[in-house]
Amino acid sequence: MSNQRPIQVAIIGGGCAGMTAAFELTRPEHAGKYHVTVYQLGWRMGGKGASGRGPADRIHEHGLHLWMGFYENAFRVMRECYAELKRDPTKCHIADWRDAFTPDHFSGVADWSPSGRWLPWRVNLPPFDGQPGDPGNPLPRWTIADYLARSLTLVRTLLTAVQHHEASAPAPATAPSPSTAGVGTPESLLEDVSRLLKYGQLATLAAIVEALGLVESVLGVLPRFPESVLVRFLDAISTAARGQLEKVTEKDDELRRLWEIIELVLAVVRGSIRFRLLTDARGFDAIDDYDCREWLRLNGASERAINSAFVRALYDLAFAYEDGDFSRPRIAAGQAVRGALRAFFTYRGAFFFKMRSGMGDIVFAPFYEVLERRGVRFEFFHRLENVKLADASRLKPGERPYVEALEFDVQAQVKGGGEYQPLVDVRGLPCWPAEPDYTQLVEGKRLKQEGWKFESHWDKRKVGTKVLRVGEGFDFVVLAVGGGAVKHVTKELVERDARWREMVERVKSVPTQAFQIWMSAGMRELGWTEPPINISGFVEPFDTWADMSHLASEESWKRPPRAIAYFCSALPDAPEAEQQSPSFPEAQHEKVRRDAVRFLNRDIVHLWPRAQQKPGEFRWELLMDPSEAPGSEPRARGEARFASQYWTANVNPTDRYTLSLPGSLRYRISPLDPTYDNFTVAGDWTDCGFNEGCVEAAVMSGRLASHALSGLPRLEDIVGFDHP
Amino acid sequence: MDSHDDRVKRPEPQRTGPVRNWWTLFGPPGSVPPSGPGMPGMPPMPGMPRPPSGGDPVSQGVQLGYRVIEEYMRQGQNVARMFGMPYPGGTMPASGGPPMEVLFRSFSEFMNLWMQMMGGRAPGAAPTAAAPAVGIAGPFAMGEPHVPAPVPRQAPVSVPQQSEGGQVALTLELESPRRTEVSFDLRPRSLGLPLVVHDLRAPEADKPRITGVALETVPDEERLVLRLRIPAEQPPGIYSGIILDERTSLPRGTLTVRLAP
């Protein structure tokens, strides 16, 4: 690169991926080599993570956002961002990253008991040393053998618990007599396995636990160990354990859950050995053409185990329902197993972290402030319409294709031609508003009166257009829009490049739905007597609930709510023709309202037994309306009170959640893909190493995009990229 | 304006995908099986997470699981130290070995390193001199003479029927216009059998097969020669085929080829 001037980078989309790419490219280490401009639809950054402050400064989210303790890249970037921000804690109560993220150890899944009722299965996952994103703390080089060893340890512990739980616990088995070939050698392990198989010494739980210990040892030397013997041994262990436990577990919900987990883990271990994943260069990718349930079934898990609360929660948390159809749960087995293993076995600090305010306020306001200080320009109200490629006939021999121009619709002009100032102050905390500040916009009053919906795919109104050309408006492009929007903004790419065509066809996304309620009664009064929790695997249409009551103090109510609850799930996709209708978003919004009302009337009682005033009717008077003064006459009664709460149908292409369907992951395009020599991609829809929709994947892709353009960060510093 | 001669271009990528399997590169993380992971009541190992705080079995299981990986890591690092390899958190070999950046440059280079190590240590390693390969054959480095594939060594075991008469070496003759990853998986006791490889197919029906794959045995050298030619127009993807015993038509293994985009 011979240019002496700074390299102009246009980043399209200010979600987690785009902001991360901007953060990486403007690090001081680059000494100003890259000048970044972020182009953003509408008035706020965040994409699927955007939030806004509504009436009473209520936080309005796109959905429910929890950060997991294995989000090493996301936490690392956020910690650096907060460190650089240097907020004054006397003026802003969320000054440090520890103020922003609260460890959340208490989680659960909703379990359908054979006794015919929903039971929350609560787990208190212990804190672990360190914190996600700890600097200078090298992380292990993960292997599948490591994970399997950990998994077997989990099974042994569960079996030991079962053993203690069982009233008529059998006497411990005689320990296998030591082999003669030397303790711990492959030869001695094989002798032990053969003896156990031959003499059927798996008649007690204690013996099974011992046998599992043997398998753990074998994993350390697996390439020198006959796999067929090991699979046979595992089968014998499973059969023996099933024989010991199945009758017992029928009557006891706690034992049944433990047995389901044991079955699932044994299926993963057995499958990893049968599919030779330990030595397969593709790691877990090798089984991505299978659906996770299908693969578990292939490897011996029972129907009961693969339909257990744990597996349902795994699908729910990834909105893993093709076309939002709850009868078609589908997720690529490799990525699902990778995600579960990373979640359980590599978290630091806490399994989950909750944000202490809206995601926009916790993540995107700090990003915005730091990047602005670094000189990043933000062009709000820009809607990308086309990525124009250079004519192939003009390419010289050996020259790679490149992006020649970016074509935008400009949705609004800022008065005086300056930059739009997007943040509002909520008691010292910079926040994003739920609506644009029309006073900053040319003819803002008219735009407001006419109800321009800047974030709506169906509102194509504009005040002008803008074309950026290579070498003038940009040198490099990072396409960081939401996965669902890609096909709408890259029509030319899709038309000319078969890989892009396959990508937009095969990498599907799904709309989601969410609602939030603010209540005048505490959770205990509603019958939930446990600590605040996140629960998945519950009944559709809202399978996931999180108690977010901790946010009450962040909002500006005259009388703070005593409980806040967020719910979310996938939203069934409508036929394509229906989606073309201008009234489609409003119709979907109304559908979500109806879903939420029905859910509160009919289903929530299973978790909140005192939330009904009579069978089939929620206690609507508990809902708090921010427009009502305390003690005043209610503005509405009955279920009409729900109108004062917040709900959303995330049907905009940019808001759709990217799925990890079986057989689809190979069609993703990597930020490292060099096909276009001035263009890269970022987002949780890309092939970024962790191919599942989440903050961590988006941040990883943003870091990869930065690496693709600048060589930094190094790939080995992108935690979890090199991972089975 | 039709010319963008001076436009800025992206740097050449070191690699375009993740390394998914370190074990493939380095072998198992220790030749000694891990010591028994802590059971309830066992004191934590130095530097390990805090001991279980009681509570439910899932919590305990996850907590105890953490000890296992640390032990694996420790053993893996010991092996790395033994071979003078870099490892996360470790210092470089005192002998002034190559810097970390160089060693991390690419998957191919890692593989080379591994090959050199295996070639130097493994008894009966195949000779490396043969006809030069053409193209880029990840995990084999471009332009290198072909080298034996990393067939796991078969340890002598006490059960007679599992005994294996030494290891099988593989020579890969590859012509490919693009980055190609080859996974070769052959059952024991296949050397000397007349082996054939079916055409390699992709899961997508519309992609053409890779034909003409040849597998020959060189019994005197206890070596297999795999010849593979990838046409220039072959679409990227994963292609697999079964290796059969020609006499019995029973499967003896699989061959998988990944063509990078």
CB-nearest partner of B65 from A143, A154, A404: A154
pLDDT for residue B144: 31
The torsion angles phi and psi of A261, rounded to 5 degrees, stand at -65, -45
A710 within 8 A of A33, measured Cβ to Cβ: yes
The answer to whether B10 contacts chain A (CB < 8 Å) is yes
Report whether A125 contacts B59 (CB < 8 A): yes
Q: What does the alpha-carbon distance between residue B70 and residue A590 come to, in Å, rounded to a whole number?
A: 52
The per-residue pLDDT for A250 is 73
Give the residue carrying structure tokens 């500040």.
A437
> Cβ contact (<8 Å) for A126 and B50?
yes
Nearest to A716 by CA among B95, B77, B47, B110: B110
Q: Say if the Cβ atoms of B158 and A191 lie within 8 Å.
A: yes
Is the CB of residue A160 less than 8 Å from the CB of residue B39? yes
Which DSSP symbol is given to A436? -
**For residue A409, what are the contacts with CB-CB under 8 A and spacing of at least 6?**
A382, A383, A385, A460, A462, A464, A465
- Is the distance from CB of A275 to CB of A287 less than 8 angstroms? yes
Question: Around Cβ A117, how many Cβ atoms within 10 Å?
Answer: 9
Give the residue among A266, A257, A350 at the shortest CA–CA distance from A310. A257
Does the distance separating the beta carbons of B67 and A190 come in below 8 Å?
Answer: no
How many whole angstroms separate alpha carbon B211 and alpha carbon A163? 56
State how far residue A569 is from chain B, nearest Cα, in angstroms. 26
Interface of B with A in 209-228 (CB under 8 A): none
CA distance B164 to B123: 14
Contact A15, A48 (CB under 8 A): yes
Q: What is the mean pLDDT of each run of 10 residues along chain A (724 residues)?
A: 79 98 97 97 98 98 96 97 97 97 91 83 84 77 81 79 56 42 57 61 67 72 64 79 74 82 90 87 95 94 91 95 96 97 91 97 98 98 98 92 98 96 97 98 98 97 98 97 97 96 97 98 95 92 96 96 98 96 97 98 95 96 95 94 98 98 97 97 98 98 98 93 92
- What DSSP line would sit under A295-339, residue for residue? HHHHTT--HHHHTSHHHHHHHHHTT-BGGG-TT-B--BHHHHHHH
Mean pLDDT score of chain B: 56
Residue A175 CB neighbour total at 10 angstroms: 10
**For the stretch B220-240, what's the b/e string if a residue is b when 16 or more beta carbons lie within 10 angstroms of its beta carbon?**
eebbbbbbbbbeeebeebbbb
Nearest CA in chain A to B151: A223
**Contacts with A663 from chain B: Cβ below 8 Å:** 203
Angle, CA of A558, A562 and A568, to the nearest 5° = 110
pLDDT for the residue numbered A221 = 60
pLDDT for position B237: 84
Is B53 exposed, middle or buried (CB count within 10 Å of its CB: 0-12, 13-18, 19+)? exposed
CA A236 to CA A592: how far, in whole Å? 49
| Residue type (1 letter), A494 | V
Q: CA A256, CA A304: separation in Å to the nearest integer?
A: 10
- Partner A contacted by B34 (CB < 8 A): yes
Residue B171 has pLDDT above 80, yes or no: yes
Q: Are A477 and A406 in contact, with CB atoms under 8 Å apart?
A: yes
What is d(CA A471, CA A358) in angstroms, rounded to the nearest whole number? 38
Tell me the sheet residues that pair with B257: B182, B239
Is residue A489 classed as helix, strand or coil in its secondary structure? helix
| Interatomic CA distance for residues A71 and A103, integer angstroms | 13
Using CA atoms in the order A21, A23, A24, A29, what is the torsion angle rounded to 10 degrees? 150
What was the pLDDT predicted at A237?
80
How far apart are the CA of A72 and the nearest CA of chain B, in angstroms?
Answer: 16
Least CB–CB distance from A283: residue in B11, B21, B60: B21
User: Is the confidence at residue B128, as pLDDT, over 70?
Assistant: no
Distance CA A339, CA A684 (A): 14
Cα A420 to its chain centre, rounded Å, is 30
Closest CA relative to residue A220, chosen from A278, A275, A260: A278
> CA B8, CA B211: separation in Å to the nearest integer?
41
- Summarize the confidence of residues B59-87 as an average pLDDT: 46
- The token pair at A289 is 């053409």
Contact B128, A200 (CB under 8 A): no
Q: Which of A45-54, B134-143, B169-178 has the lowest mean pLDDT?
A: B134-143
Distance from CA of A715 to the nearest CA of B (A): 8
Interface of B with A in 98-137 (CB under 8 A): 101, 104
Q: How many secondary structure helices (H) and strands (E) does chain A include? A: 21, 26
pLDDT at A62: 96
Element (H, E) at A512: strand A512-519
Please write the tens of the pLDDT for every residue from B93-118: 333 333 333 333 333 333 333 333 33
Element of type H or E holding B134: strand B134-135
What sign results for the dihedral spanned by CA atoms A667, A671, A675, A679? positive
List the beta strands (DSSP E) in A525-658. 534-536, 544-547, 563-570, 612-614, 617-618, 646-650, 657-658
**Predicted pLDDT of residue A363:** 98
Q: Is the pLDDT of residue B36 over 50?
A: no
pLDDT recorded at residue B94: 35
Considering only CB atoms, which chain A residues are within 8 Å of B16? Answer: 670, 672-674
Q: Which of A473-477, A546-550, B70-74, B242-246 has the lowest mean pLDDT?
A: B70-74
Q: Which of A1, A70, A125, A143 to mutate to test the interface with B (most CBs of B within 10 A)?
A: A143
Which pLDDT score is estimated for B240? 80
Give the integer Cα–Cα distance in Å for A395 and A401: 7
Q: Say how far apart CA A205 and CA A162 lie, in whole Å.
A: 9
| Confidence grade of residue B253 (pLDDT, cut at 50, 70, 90) | confident
Determine the distance in angstroms separating the CA of B95 from the nearest CA of chain A, rounded to an integer.
23
A430-434, B30-34, B177-181: least confident range: B30-34
DSSP state of A514: E
Phi/psi for A384 (5° steps) reads -70, 130
Judged by a CB distance cut-off of 8 A, whether residue B205 touches chain A is no
Is the pLDDT confidence value at B152 over 60?
no
- Token pair of A304 as six digits: 């009961």
Q: Which of A134, A195, A209, A279 should one mutate to test binding to chain B, selecting the residue with the greatest count of B CBs within 10 A?
A: A279
Asked whether the predicted pLDDT for residue B40 surpasses 50, the reply is no
Cβ distance A242 to A208 under 8 Å? no
**Chain B residues lying within 8 Å of A160, measured CB to CB:** 39-40, 57
What is the length of chain A? 724
Nearest CA in chain A to B3: A394
- Rounded Cα distance, A15 and A478, in Å: 12
Measured over the CA atoms of residue A448, residue A453, residue A459 and residue A465, the dihedral's sign is positive
| CB neighbour list of residue A162: distance below 8 Å, 6 or more residues apart | A205, A245, A248, A255, A258, A259
Instruction: Report the C-alpha gap between B3 and A709 in whole angstroms.
Output: 22
- Cβ contact (<8 Å) for A157 and B67? no
Asked whether A229 and A235 are in contact (CB, 8 A), the reply is no
Q: Which residue of B has its CA nearest to A289?
A: B203
- Reported as type and span, the H/E element at residue A160 is helix A144-165
Q: Which residues does A229 contact at the CB level (< 8 Å), separation at least 6?
A: A190, A193, A194, A197, B162
Give the integer Cα–Cα distance in Å for A282 and B183. Answer: 9
List the structure tokens of A584: 């489609």
Closest CA to A691 of A489, A512, A507, A500: A507
Burial class (CB in 10 A: 0-12, 13-18, 19+), A477: buried
C-alpha to C-alpha distance for B82 and A631, rounded to whole angstroms: 76
Cross-chain residue pair A161–B53, CB shorter than 8 Å? no
- Amino acid, single-letter form, for residue A364: F
d(CA A319, CA A17): 20
* Other C-beta atoms lying within 10 Å of the C-beta of residue B80: 18
The values of phi and psi at residue A568, to 5°, are -160, 165
- Which domains, and CATH codes, for chain A? 7-55+69-100+356-508+667-717 (3.50.50.60), 144-347 (no CATH), 512-570+575-650 (no CATH)
